[in-house]
Structure 1
C-alpha cells in the first residue's frame, strides 16, 4: 500500500516538474519578446533593471507560505531571472579575484550564475574595467562586520565618476579543506588570507595548534597553495571547495557566527525608485567645529534614518573632510531632495554616489 502511495506522489511531482518547465520556458520566451521591444525603443540601454528585479523578489517573498524557506525561494527565482536576462543581454561582471573568492560568491549571489564573471587582481582594476566599459558592472567589498571598512573601495568611489547601482550582503563562512585527504594530526601548514586565519584563530588554536599558518593573498590562492604543497590545509569559501575540487574536513570553522561582508554593485546606470531604497552620499565639508552637526541636521529634521557614516580626510584638500553616508530613501524622494538642497545652501559639497534597492 505504501509503495503505491509513493508512486502516486512521485507521479504528481513529475507532473508539477513538467508544468514548471513549460512555465519557465514561457517566461524565457516573454523575456525575449521584451528584449526585442526594448531594442527598438532604446537600443543603447541595458536590459538589466535592478529596481524591477528587487520588486519581483520582494513580492515573491510575500507570497511564499512554505515549506521551502524564503531565502531558498529567492535563490531559485534569482536564477530564473538571471537565466531569462541572459536571453536578452549577456552581462559581464568584474570582481576581486581570483576565482573561488568570496567576491565571486557575492557576484553569483547578486547576478545569478548566468552572468559572465571577470576576475581582477585589485579593487582599482574592477573600477577601471567598469569605467572603460570593458564590463557591464563590477562588484566590490565595502565593509566587513569583523574587519571594518575597505579603504580601497572608498578611495575609488571618491576618485571615480562611477555610480553605485546595488548592494548585497554575503555571510562569510570558512571551510577547512585540502587538495588530498590525510589525517588532520599530520597537517603541517594551514594556508589562507590573513583575515580568514584571524577569524578562525580560536578554532585553529584548539584543533591544529602545531600547524604553521601561512598567509596568502586570497583564500582562493590558499586553495592553489594546498594543491602545490603536501600535508597542507587551506581555509577557503564553499565556492572554492567546488571550483578547485578540494577535500573538505570541517564546515564553518569561523570563531564567530554572524560575520558578513557588504558588497557594492558599481556601474553607469541610474536606478529607479522602489518601495525600499538606500542612497549613498559623498559629502565634503571644511574641517571646522560643528561640521558634522551641520551635515546631520537636515537628515534629522526630516526623520531620515542613516545606515552608515564613514569619515576621512579629503585627498583633494588638507582643510576638508569627506563623509561617506548611507541613508534610507531614494534621491528622487521629496525628503531627500530637500536634504540635498539644504546642504548645498550651506555651501557643503554634496555628491550622490547612487540610489538603489536596499537589501539590509
Structure 2
C-alpha cells in the first residue's frame, strides 16, 4: 500500500470519527427539543423543508445537492425517531412506489404501515392509528388518481407535504434472461406506461394486470416462467433479477404523492396550497372565481374538474396555487373566492417538493 493511500485512509478515519461526534451532538440537541416540545406536534414539515433547502444551497460539492438532501433527511429522520418514532401509513403492499415515496419523504426511521387501499390510509390517519399517510394523487403519464381526490374532498384530513417520485419501471424475473418468460405481470397503470417497450421487445407475451406492482413481483418470484414490471425495491424484496432496467416509455414519468395528516404545514418560503371549490350554475361563473387569483398575482398551477357526488352534471374543481394560505396575496384571493363560490375547502398548504 502506498504512503499516499495510507495517509488518505487515515484522514477518512479521522473525518468519520469527527462526523460521528457531530451527529451524536446533533442527536442530543434533537432529544432536548423533544423534551421542550413534549405534548406538542414535534414533526414540522416546513422546518424540515427549510433545513434541506438551506443545506443544498450551502453545498460546496463534490456531492450533488440531491445527495446532500438524502443524507441529511436520514439524519433528521433518525434524530426525530429519538423524540418519538412516527407511524406512516402508505398504499401497500411492501415494495410499491408508494413505499418508496414514503421513505423518500420521511427517511428510514418511522414505522411504515402498508395499507390495502387508499381509503385505508385515510382511515388509519383519521383514527389516530397512523400519524401520517402517503397517497398517490397524479401521474404525469396517466393523470389524476380519482379516488384520492374524492377522499380529499370528503375527509377532514389536511395535506401537509408532497413527494415527487421519478417512476422507473424494471422488468424482473427469477430467470437470468428474457427468453424463459411466458407472461408479464404488473399493475394496469405500469403496463400502460411500458406499452411501447413491450410492443417492441415482448410483443407476443400476454400482459396480466394484478392489484399492484409488488404483487406482480411476488407472483414472479413463485413462477420461473413469468416476469414482472415493478420498481427496484420490489426486485430487492423478492430476490428477483432485473432483466431490463428503466423500460418506461416516458423517461420523465413522475408520480406525485401527498402527505396527509390532521394538520397542514406552516409557511416555508416555497409553498403550494391545494383547494377544491364549486361554481354556481350561471354563465361566466368559473371566470368570476378565477379572476381574484389573477388580480392578486397568485399563480395557479393546476385546475381540474371532477363530477360531484351531489347531482347529475354537477362538478367540483380541484386547484393548486403557488404560495401559502397565510401569504397576504393568497389570503386575499382565497377570501374573495369564499365570497363568490358555492363551496370552498382549502385542503392544505405545504412545502413544494423537488424531484
Q: What TM-score do you get using the length of structure 2 for normalisation?
A: 0.96
Would you say 1:161 and 2:161 are equivalent positions? Answer: no
Alignment length (residue pairs)? 354
Would you say 1:338 and 2:332 are equivalent positions? Answer: yes
Aligned-pair Cα RMSD in Å: 1.4
CA 1:339 to 1:224, structure 2 compared with 1: closer, same or farther past 3 Å? Answer: same
Q: Following superposition of structure 1 onto structure 2, how do residues 73-92 of structure 1 map, counting pairs within 5 Å?
A: 73-92=68-87
2:96 to 93, 101, 114: 101
Q: Following superposition of structure 1 onto structure 2, how do residues 289-300 of structure 1 map, counting pairs within 5 Å?
A: 289-300=283-294
Q: Following superposition of structure 1 onto structure 2, how do residues 1-360 of structure 1 map, counting pairs within 5 Å?
A: 3-39=2-38, 43=39, 45-178=40-173, 180-318=174-312, 320-360=314-354
Alpha-carbon displacement from aligned partner over 1:187-213 (angstroms, at most 9, x marks no partner): 111111111112112222222233222
Secondary structure of the structure 2 residue equivalent to 1:214: strand
Secondary structure of the structure 1 residue equivalent to 2:259: strand
Query: Does the 8 Å contact 2:289/2:341 carry over to 1?
Result: no
CA 1:270 to 1:214, structure 2 compared with 1: closer, same or farther past 3 Å? Answer: closer
Quote the Cα distance in structure 1 between the aligned partners of 2:306 and 2:180. 47
Query: Does the 8 Å contact 1:286/1:319 carry over to 2?
Result: no
How far off is 1:245 after superposition? 1.6
Query: Does the 8 Å contact 2:87/2:110 carry over to 1?
Result: yes
Alpha-carbon displacement from aligned partner over 1:156-182 (angstroms, at most 9, x marks no partner): 01111110111010000011111x224
Alpha-carbon displacement from aligned partner over 1:34-82 (angstroms, at most 9, x marks no partner): 101111xxx1x22110011000000001001211111111111110010
Secondary structure of the structure 1 residue equivalent to 2:37: helix
CA 1:13 to 1:187, structure 2 compared with 1: closer, same or farther past 3 Å? Answer: same
How far off is 1:21 after superposition? 0.9
Alpha-carbon displacement from aligned partner over 1:107-140 (angstroms, at most 9, x marks no partner): 0011111111111111111111111111001010
Quote the Cα distance in structure 2 between the aligned partners of 1:331 and 1:49. 17
Secondary structure of the structure 2 residue equivalent to 1:230: coil
Quote the Cα distance in structure 1 between the aligned partners of 2:276 and 2:322. 15
Uncovered stretches (5+) of structure 2, i.e. residues with no partner: none
Secondary structure of the structure 2 residue equivalent to 1:34: helix
Quote the Cα distance in structure 2 between the aligned partners of 1:239 and 1:48. 26
How far off is 1:289 after superposition? 2.0
Quote the Cα distance in structure 2 between the aligned partners of 1:253 and 1:290. 45
Post-superposition, which runs of at least 4 consecutive aligned residues in structure 1 deviate over 3 A?
A: 317-320
Uncovered stretches (5+) of structure 1, i.e. residues with no partner: none
The farther-off stretch of 209-218 and 343-352 is 343-352
Query: Does the 8 Å contact 1:286/1:321 carry over to 2?
Result: no
Alpha-carbon displacement from aligned partner over 1:284-330 (angstroms, at most 9, x marks no partner): 22233212101110000011101111112321244743111110111
CA 1:337 to 1:182, structure 2 compared with 1: closer, same or farther past 3 Å? Answer: closer
Query: Does the 8 Å contact 1:141/1:263 carry over to 2?
Result: yes
